[in-house]
Amino acid sequence: MANSKASVPKGTRDFSPAEMVKRNYIFDTIKSVFRKYGYLEIQTPSMENLSTLTGKYGDEGDKLIFKILNSGDFWGEAENKKQKAESFEFNSKGLLPMLSEKALRYDLTVPFARYVVMHQNEITFPFKRFQVQPVWRADRPQKGRYREFYQCDADMVGSESLLNEAEFVMIYQEALGMLGLKDFTIKINNRKILSGIAEIIGKPELIVDMTVAIDKLDKIGLDGVVKELLERGFTSRDIEKLKPVILSEGSNEEKLASLKSVLTTSDTGLKGIEEIETILGYLESFSVYSPQSLSSDSLSAGIQQPATQNPSAAPGSQSATLNLQLDITLARGLNYYTGAIFEVKTNEVAMGSIGGGGRYDDLTGMFGLKGLTGAGISFGADRIYDVMEELQLFPESTSETTKVLITNFDAQAERYALPVLQELRNKGISAELYPTSAKMKKQLSYADNKKIPYVILIGSEEIQSGRLTLKDMKSGVQEQLTREELTGKIK
Amino acid sequence: MANSKASVPKGTRDFSPAEMVKRNYIFDTIKSVFRKYGYLEIQTPSMENLSTLTGKYGDEGDKLIFKILNSGDFWGEAENKKQKAESFEFNSKGLLPMLSEKALRYDLTVPFARYVVMHQNEITFPFKRFQVQPVWRADRPQKGRYREFYQCDADMVGSESLLNEAEFVMIYQEALGMLGLKDFTIKINNRKILSGIAEIIGKPELIVDMTVAIDKLDKIGLDGVVKELLERGFTSRDIEKLKPVILSEGSNEEKLASLKSVLTTSDTGLKGIEEIETILGYLESFSVYSPQSLSSDSLSAGIQQPATQNPSAAPGSQSATLNLQLDITLARGLNYYTGAIFEVKTNEVAMGSIGGGGRYDDLTGMFGLKGLTGAGISFGADRIYDVMEELQLFPESTSETTKVLITNFDAQAERYALPVLQELRNKGISAELYPTSAKMKKQLSYADNKKIPYVILIGSEEIQSGRLTLKDMKSGVQEQLTREELTGKIK
């Protein structure tokens, strides 16, 4: 019992100062890029009415929603007075409404849709918002899967323009580049192309089955996909039609050209191709993408090809190179997305997707506001953290760390130190005086553990000469400096 | 039902972009000051084990803890297997352990104590941490009282030095000054002085009753306090001894002198006085406080006195002036604090306390780690927000707002605009292109609503001349500028 008192619920985590510095570095970087593209922050409450959340995530999702017990006696707050009076059966369905009317948010998307509907008269559309807040899921905890974790989303509602999609690609590129990732692939697909393919095969009703199967190409290979397609109601003949499409190689332009020839009779399919081309066109105008006819899909083909002058042809060669790949097998969240679909993967570390998103045409419909199109992306902050840790991309010290510790030798030195401390802080430098005259070893190890880069030593000699000793903790070098020299040096 | 779907639970709030900009301004300012003084951020999970929280906030507090329903079937996660098998009685005590084992945090202090005990082997003491996270209380919602609100705490554990207390005064002074507050009072008291007074009266066992009563002096006046003291077991004779102490006027130094003469026979009382003097001594060494013998307590005496050369004698005359007042009636959270007690009040707006804190000698004892002293302060962010709103202290635009909107005249102008947009963003300027060629009025009102200070107009004339029109949204002034001039101007 004593032990359980100093523990956290399973699937939840404390974040130490060192971890917070790194997490803030990720969040602050991504937020700054969101802002640069005109996205503004909102926050929604941690708890939503249970009725807002249930039925939005499927049966499996509903089970993973953390419900909050009504406070007071269990009947105290039930808004349906009639229900209170009724006798109840003790099973989860009969009891639940009396026990719980609120729940912790499961994602940021449904609360955002609720926000837009609730505040529609105050909002100027197109509304570009970002949101970085924790979400909670009663999932079985396991490595890398938590019951409380942060989501990091940017969404736009109210504009059909594909400029939004192009900018999402740029936001990924810029934010991940700023974080130091050098080799990552932004995959793009379009729901309308997938619909077109299902149409051409003559099985439009099986589009979900088709995409669920081909989405697994990376994991289970072509044979696995074929097996699954057969199980899901496709014939061998259908599959023969599908094969060249899902196995198509080459640059985005080559893939688009071959898709165009396949989808000639599907208006929906051609619309999807046109949307991809428009997005690529925007990126070209922004000078971050160049079309090409050479095969650039070297990674999935397993062949390293020589770098060309073309910036999009040399994946990973520079942090500034956009590696955008049309991937017909990409289908994440198909039931949700109606246009573009995005996914981001790092090629430097074995890791699932570190971001994803797309266009959804009727986000707010679930709350009764029809006809408002939206598009959004998400960053997988926990996975990005793990990638950066593995690649050692976190900066050694940041503005969040204390810059200088003044050691405390004795009462006289302490008194002498106080105005020095004040002067440093007045110059905007984070500074501490060790609060007692503990052993010097202890004080230096305090600086070391807190990753404080500089230590000022003040003893009787320093007080007499008026020059302070500055120790660089990394190099170990000590210098005697005047107070003016000191602040200049540290800044 | 449709309505309830687009609503939030009572006592909770959405924060719009405009509100978030202001909230971030407050939090970022306070965090930057915490960091300057060597405090580092941590975060703890939103949910704690119920056993961590219960019994820490008194019976009333326990009732206000939001409990989380066990997921799956109600018995699914109960850790006490025996309990699961037992039959249950349907009452809150019998049922609760099976229904709920987790709860939302009620404050940041208990989770911090749990954190320190749990991570004691990784922590370098003294440990200076700050934490800015929401807390949840099942309080009856009312104006200014929410069921989810942010706390903003800095605490230090493991150092007895009163330098920590002195720095808390400076943190309040600096953070509130940076936020633009000009006239606020930092009140200081010491639990040991209160103990000493109860001792001198001969009723040490009634210390809580005494302090609860005199704490109300501001609200119910002297007569009210006398009445309450009589009800709480003090005699008229006790009260006659108490009166001069609680009504003592004058500067901090005058009050300390008169207290010293009253408390001569109380070692505890004299220790309390000494602690206050040490804290004032530190502040004097930092050059932010000057002792004085004149009466500075002009506000509570209701007399405006002329400003003197003494910086602490002229409350509110300058933002840089420290207005620190010893207030013997200050007793907040007495059962908790063992040394210094702080409270901050603004004098510009009628509002409760906007901050408070103090020294507590055994914070981690509740989790079995004895003998670790601590001290901490808290900022009341919601109240500070309201004060700043009323005094119009929020800056008009911040780095969080989009700096420039490029209007979208037609397809040709859009294409022309894209490299301009890219150039602005490459220079670190937050910029947007309106995503469609909507009516100009609509585009300008978008800029207006988002408080975007600059708009770039691109039409056929601009494309021909290569000079862009920049409109200053505040002054309405339009200028024709080259692209180079433009970025310089906006930056």
Summarised one tens digit per residue, pLDDT across range A318-371 is: 345 899 999 999 987 667 899 999 999 999 999 889 999 999 998 899 999 999
B92-113: average pLDDT: 84
Nearest by Cα to A102 from A121, A126, A76, A120: A76
Helix (H) or strand (E) holding A342, with range, is strand A340-346
Are A36 and B401 in contact (CB < 8 Å)?
no
What one-character-per-residue DSSP string does B178-238 give? HTT--SEEEEEEEHHHHHHHHHHHT-GGGHHHHHHHHTTHHHHHHHHHHHHHHHTT--HHH
B83-106: average pLDDT: 64
Task: Enter the DSSP assignment of A306.
Answer: -
Helix, coil or strand: residue A356: strand
pLDDT of B203 strictly over 80: yes
In the sheet that A340-346 helps form, which strands lie side by side, from edge to edge? Answer: A40-41, A127-136, A148-157, A374-379, A355-360, A340-346, A184-190, A324-326
Residue A76 has phi, psi (to 5 degrees) of: -50, -35
Closest chain A C-alpha to B323 CA, distance in angstroms: 18
B contacts of A24 (beta carbons < 8 Å): 41
Q: Which two tokens stand for residue B138?
A: 């099942």
B477 interfacial to chain A (CB closer than 8 Å)? no
A438 interfacial to chain B (CB closer than 8 Å)? no
B402-414: average pLDDT: 95
pLDDT at B336: 81
For residue A227, give the amino acid letter: K
A contacts of B399 (beta carbons < 8 Å): 35
The answer to whether A157 and A125 have CB atoms below 8 angstroms apart is yes
B432-438: average pLDDT: 96
B114 interfacial to chain A (CB closer than 8 Å)? yes
Closest chain B C-alpha to A324 CA, distance in angstroms: 18
Are B64 and A42 in contact (CB < 8 Å)?
no
A285 interfacial to chain B (CB closer than 8 Å)? yes
Closest chain B C-alpha to A150 CA, distance in angstroms: 11
B contacts of A66 (beta carbons < 8 Å): 47, 68-69, 71
pLDDT tens-digit map of B445-478: 999 999 999 999 999 999 999 999 999 999 999 9
Are B74 and A92 in contact (CB < 8 Å)?
yes
A7 interfacial to chain B (CB closer than 8 Å)? yes
A3 interfacial to chain B (CB closer than 8 Å)? no
Instruction: Find where tokens 């039925």 sit.
Output: A55
Greatest distance between any 2 Cα atoms in chain A = 93
Q: Which two tokens stand for residue B182?
A: 């000009």
pLDDT at A312: 42
**Confidence label for B397 from pLDDT (cuts 50, 70 and 90):** confident
B287 interfacial to chain A (CB closer than 8 Å)? yes
Closest chain A C-alpha to B313 CA, distance in angstroms: 22
Closest chain A C-alpha to B464 CA, distance in angstroms: 18
Nearest by Cα to B109 from B416, B401, B367: B367
A contacts of B148 (beta carbons < 8 Å): 45-47
The C-alpha atoms of residue B365 and residue B373 are separated, in whole angstroms, by 10
Closest chain B C-alpha to A328 CA, distance in angstroms: 27
Are B68 and A67 in contact (CB < 8 Å)?
yes
List B residues 54-93 in contact with A (Cβ-Cβ < 8 A). Answer: 63-64, 66-69, 71-74, 79, 90, 92
Q: How many CA atoms lie within 13 A of A350 on its CB side?
A: 0
- pTM for this prediction: 0.90
A454 interfacial to chain B (CB closer than 8 Å)? no
Among A20, A102, A115, select the one facing B43 at the smallest CB separation: A20
Domains contained in chain A, CATH given: 168-391 (3.30.930.10), 400-490 (3.40.50.800)
Helix, coil or strand: residue A430: coil
Closest chain A C-alpha to B245 CA, distance in angstroms: 32
Are A5 and B52 in contact (CB < 8 Å)?
yes
B59-80: average pLDDT: 73
* Strand B100-104 with B47-49, pairing: antiparallel
B22 interfacial to chain A (CB closer than 8 Å)? no
Residues of chain A with pLDDT under 50: 1-4, 73-92, 294-319
Q: Which two tokens stand for residue A204?
A: 């439009």
Are A38 and B368 in contact (CB < 8 Å)?
no
